[in-house]
A and B are shown apart, each in its own frame.
Chain A
């Protein structure tokens, strides 16, 4: 088991695509770490560089106390689960799980016994003699996990392992994965573009954009205090309200109404408020008419027009309002961004 240290990592693909751009990252031993970001931001490239499947243009990767930058993948003792699971179609499940041990020249009996132990830990009893094609997507995903677990790596690298499952199975697999990681305590790097998945699973999250890390923090930090407007817009199942505003004598004004008083210098700012933290009340600083109501299940997302601004607010199911009604909004936990960066 080991932590992962990445410093000044740059990867430029032939053709000039800068996939990673001077990236620094430190992942603690036993941590469940998520790499989150929009498509094409370099998540997969970072993961593959840690695995050794891509060679960095510059910078270094350390796993545990070894500098592995120039080591081949096989010498790094990491296990990867691919998006397509990469199960060998011609091998039975037990042979698939035991495959890394076969390469390490363990006797067939030993490695099959080990495969069965891991398999039953992951609920694969009774499937061990089948071929991958005879398994459901969720089962295949667990086989891929089992193969990773069976070789006792110092780190797990997962590239969107849940993205091929349907929504319901995905939630199940998510819980399963989290419990497994807790049990094993193996350092895990998890790539996803689903912010909810990252928030639910990870101890810490790195939010990436265009080959750089925009914020690293716990799910609470990243959700509650996004460090910049990019992260603010990316995290959260309902998009954060980012409203043009000004600060005058410490008072934060949006649509000429005072929202709060903060210790920030005067000037133009962007005011961020999560819809979840906007209360729909009889009297609040902002007033307007309800434009749309979207049902989210146990709550609804209400969009209100305030002086030409659209402001979203989440209301619980028993407090729903009709479109057209005039309401007042009372935002709390107001964040202030200047030049895209969080100032308060």
Chain B
């Protein structure tokens, strides 16, 4: 099963990446084998690097810092809150996570809209700012933080509740401040969880396509998933986008390996 669902698409991508397969035209019927040409082209393509750079900012800003940070902060702040407050907030945050992408994207388009958008109404900006046009990258970063925080929050909540209360109380009795307690007791306890969480949300965000639904093909927010889509479906260059997909796959693999290494070394 795993072979069919993972290996076959993998090999297919590899094959496609090595051809000049197009959606339309002559080479759609009879793609020629072009070897490493597509890969060579990718490595010299400025737009590819541009997209990669945007992806890096997007992943770092929205996942590594945003979701991680906000998720942990929420979990930490809510740990002593009353039950109903915690339940309500958890439900709200979870809703953002489980709603279908299309619904969520529509909500955000409405929220960020220039005329009559919720954000502009809240900020009282007249005339309104067209957020998705003027700050496309920021828009999708904020969007993705909002979208994915639930997972981090739940994971950190579980991690925090695994800290023995007596450890936190020992810190309190010693007169430890909030930051000191976080440094000496909390982080050492949850760093394994933090690493796993960071790996998961990084990979998800790296490959996330939902931002496209908000910023469409805007060049200033053309993260890698959008880039591949634009090349393959809009541009019709299946071969080239296949090659890039493969490169992205390799990057993800590399990332996972680095994480695992760090996990084994630092936490052993």
Contacts and interface: CB of A to CB of B under 8 A. Distances in A.
Contact of A90 (B171, B175, B188): B188
B164 interface: yes
B166 interface: yes
Contact of B175 (A51, A84, A104): A104
A74 B189 CA distance: 22
Q: Which 4 A-B pairs have the closest CB atoms?
A: A74-B175, A86-B166, A90-B188, A82-B166
Interface string A172-209: 00000000000000000000000000000000000000
A78 B170 CA distance: 11
Given A51-B173, A52-B173, A104-B174, 18 more contacts: A51-B169, A53-B173, A72-B175, A73-B172, A74-B173, A75-B175, A78-B173, A80-B169, A83-B166, A84-B166, A86-B167, A88-B170, A88-B185, A88-B188, A91-B188, A99-B184, A102-B184, A103-B180
Interface string B155-180: 00000000010110111111110001
Interface in A136-186: 147, 151
Interface in B235-253: none
A53 B169 contact: yes
Interface residues of A, number: 26
A163 B205 CA distance: 49
Nearest to B171: A103
21 contacts: A51-B173, A53-B172, A72-B175, A73-B173, A74-B173, A74-B175, A76-B173, A82-B166, A82-B170, A84-B166, A86-B167, A86-B170, A88-B167, A89-B188, A91-B188, A99-B174, A100-B174, A100-B175, A102-B184, A103-B171, A104-B174
B261 to A, nearest CB: 20
A79 interface: yes
Interface of B: 164, 166-167, 169-176, 180, 184-185, 188-189
A88 B184 contact: yes
B169 A73 contact: yes
Interface of A: 51-53, 72-76, 78-80, 82-84, 86, 88-91, 99-100, 102-104, 147, 151
Nearest to A101: B174
A51 B180 CA distance: 20
B209 to A, nearest CB: 39
Nearest to A159: B166
Given A88-B188, A90-B188, A151 B167 contact: no
A313 to B, nearest CB: 44
Contacts of B184: 88, 99, 102
Most buried by B among A83, A90, A91: A90
A151 B175 CA distance: 11
Contact of A80 (B164, B170, B180, B185): B170
A79 B173 contact: yes
B186 to A, nearest CB: 11
B107 to A, nearest CB: 38
A103 B176 contact: yes
B121 to A, nearest CB: 41
Contacts of A90: 188-189
B175 A103 contact: yes
B173 A80 contact: yes
A89 B169 CA distance: 15
Contacts of B176: 74, 103
Contact of A103 (B167, B174, B188): B174
Contact of A72 (B166, B172, B180, B189): B172
